[in-house]
Structure 1
Amino acid sequence: MLTILEALKLSTDYLEKKGIESPRLNAELMLSDLLNCKRLDLYLSFERPLKENEVDKLRDWIARRGKNEPLQYILGKTDFFGLTFCTNSSVLIPRQETETLVEMIIEQNKSKGKIRILDIGTGSGNIAVALAIYLNDAEFTAIDSSNDAIVVAKQNAALHKVDSRIDFVTSDIFSTDFDNDCFDLIVSNPPYVSSGEYKTLQKEITEYEPTQAVTDMVDGYRFYSYITACARKWLKRSGRLYFEVGKDQYKKVVNYLYESKFENISTYKDLLHIERVVMGEKL
């Protein structure tokens, strides 16, 4: 029978040959999830033999990872802002840099009481759900053009017991309209990769993540310019617009907000010191 130690070694060697980054970590995460234990527990049970069904499932997972399928899709979950979110190939995998966006919104609006928030391009619902947990009196509308993504977002809202405060809507932002002056905050992490840059991304992204959630198929700014113009109408007075932006995009996005007469425009860096969040107020 294959032991845990043998399974880790064989899996690591296979993933390394396939060019997978951090092969040992990937093998440990898959095996610990399969056995429903912590990674540390693997090291305390090296000689434990795996059952036949466990070996079969691990082989399937390792083979999928070897073909560049993201670990988060294989396991069906990922961590974001200290929370667990369901994931599949219908949604963009939540990234650590987006935690900067969520953190800034919470910090700047935690004392505002009952507010209405619009999340544009909600995907897995990670932004809306995380905000709902920390902004207890906020009510949300979260839209996405993909109905499959909305299904996942609803699952995550239910998982974290905030589904009663988030209205999920399948809708393309370019054909969506809301009443004037109806939101206190608008937040979006839109597809901001340009068509040219998209061709250079790693296979985990281009072959598995939903294309429409990654790139706008033009210059990377299509959503920013349109959402900024809409936000000027939809936000209440003193309302705030928050964007996540790609590397070196902040200057042009700041200019969009300036041209739409937003004030108190600010930018915020992520943990890698990249300008990651742009915020403006409608005064």
Structure 2
Amino acid sequence: MTLDAAWRLACQRIARLDARLLLEHVTACTHADLIAHPRRMLSAEQLARLDALLSRRAEGEPLAYLLGSAGFYGLEFVVTPAVLIPRPETELLIDVAIESLQSWPRAQILDLGTGSGVLAVTLARLCRGASVTAVDFSSAALAVARGNAARHAVEVSFLLGDWYAPLGESRFDLIVANPPYVAYADPHLQHSGLPFEPRMALTDGVVGGDGLACLRAIIGGAAAHLRPGGCVLVEHGYDQAAAVRQLLAEQRLVKLDSWRDLAGIERVSGGQLD
């Protein structure tokens, strides 16, 4: 079968852009190749791979898992079903972090629940004088994150453990986290490809929970691991900003604030250790 014929058939099964990206992935060609060489033939093996990927996409599996990578902050990151797929709204956390680090050129940065490592690796690339530590409870996720750090040629110290547990008495100038924050019974967990992503990266798993359990743990331990003047910044749900600011206030953090994403939703909140 030719590239052109394969593309046309693929478009009958899934969205046109997804079809093109999967075809390019399987055949190692570019969009320009599809246009310039439509009569190029696919091998039987390529056709079989394409058919399998199209079936998986038609069943709702996220495109990023099928391609094996996703973009974040202008970089490309390897992703597997062991990690959450990075979202555009999480880029706000990087923007706010960079602003907060203007007075800390050689900052000590901590990323809790690093997953694929997008926060740790991006901050390490943008803040070359900083020292970055990243923690995750999943060894499979850490393997992906280590690969992404190597891919982008940055040094990050990766630790296996539950939030602050592997850190001892270490203190940091900045703590960032994009933890699980979806409420246990939120119906969104059953749609938009979320059933294919690691549930422990989406929700805290507490039956009947409000999605704040991990945020409580991170904010509750922040003061003990921040240097004076240091900040903690967390991503949270669309309706959780007020609750997160209350958690920050309960820990006697100051300069509390929330930042809105491009959709106008309060998506990141944080505070400072006085």
TM-score past 0.5 threshold: yes
Match of 1:178 in 2: 168
Distance verdict in 2 for CA 1:213–1:196, change over 3 Å: same
- CA displacement, residues 240-273 of structure 1 (integer Å, 9 cap, x when unaligned): 0000111111110011111111111111111111
- CA displacement, residues 64-110 of structure 1 (integer Å, 9 cap, x when unaligned): 21222211111111111111111111101111111111122123314
Q: TM-score, normalised by structure 2?
A: 0.93
Q: TM-score, normalised by structure 1?
A: 0.90
Paired with 2:16 and 2:60, the residues of 1 have a C-alpha distance of 15
The offset of 1:38, in angstroms, is 3.1
Paired with 1:134 and 1:203, the residues of 2 have a C-alpha distance of 31
Residues 261 and 267, structure 2, Cα contact 8 Å, conserved in 1: yes
Counterpart of 1:97 in 2: which secondary structure?
helix
Q: Which amino acid aligns with 2:197?
A: E
Q: 1:279 aligns with which of 246, 254, 270?
A: 270
Match of 2:243 in 1: 252
Paired with 1:235 and 1:174, the residues of 2 have a C-alpha distance of 11
Q: 1:238 aligns with which of 229, 232, 235?
A: 229
Counterpart of 2:193 in 1: which secondary structure?
helix
Give the count of matched residue pairs.
271
Cα RMSD for the two superposed structures: 1.7
Paired with 1:103 and 1:226, the residues of 2 have a C-alpha distance of 24
Distance verdict in 2 for CA 1:144–1:254, change over 3 Å: same
Gaps of 5+ in 1: 16-22
Residues 72 and 78, structure 1, Cα contact 8 Å, conserved in 2: yes
Q: Which amino acid aligns with 1:277?
A: V
Match of 1:263 in 2: 254
Q: Which amino acid aligns with 1:250?
A: A
Paired with 2:188 and 2:128, the residues of 1 have a C-alpha distance of 41
Match of 2:51 in 1: 59
- CA displacement, residues 142-197 of structure 1 (integer Å, 9 cap, x when unaligned): 111100000100000011111xx3111110127455316x1111010000001110
Q: In the alignment, does 2:220 pair up with 1:229? A: yes
Q: Which amino acid aligns with 2:174?
A: L
Q: In the alignment, does 2:168 pair up with 1:169? A: no
Q: In the alignment, does 2:208 pair up with 1:220? A: no
Distance verdict in 2 for CA 1:198–1:125, change over 3 Å: farther
Residues 110 and 135, structure 1, Cα contact 8 Å, conserved in 2: no
The offset of 1:60, in angstroms, is 1.7
Listed as ranges, the matches of 1:1-283 within 5 Å are 2-15=1-14, 23-162=15-154, 165-173=155-163, 175-176=165-166, 178-179=168-169, 182-197=171-186, 200-202=189-191, 204-206=193-195, 208-217=196-205, 218-283=209-274
Q: Which amino acid aligns with 1:215?
A: T
Counterpart of 1:179 in 2: which secondary structure?
coil
Paired with 2:141 and 2:164, the residues of 1 have a C-alpha distance of 17
Q: Which amino acid aligns with 2:183?
A: S
- CA displacement, residues 121-148 of structure 1 (integer Å, 9 cap, x when unaligned): 0000010000000001111111111000
Gaps of 5+ in 2: none
The offset of 1:12, in angstroms, is 1.6
Percent identity over the alignment is 37
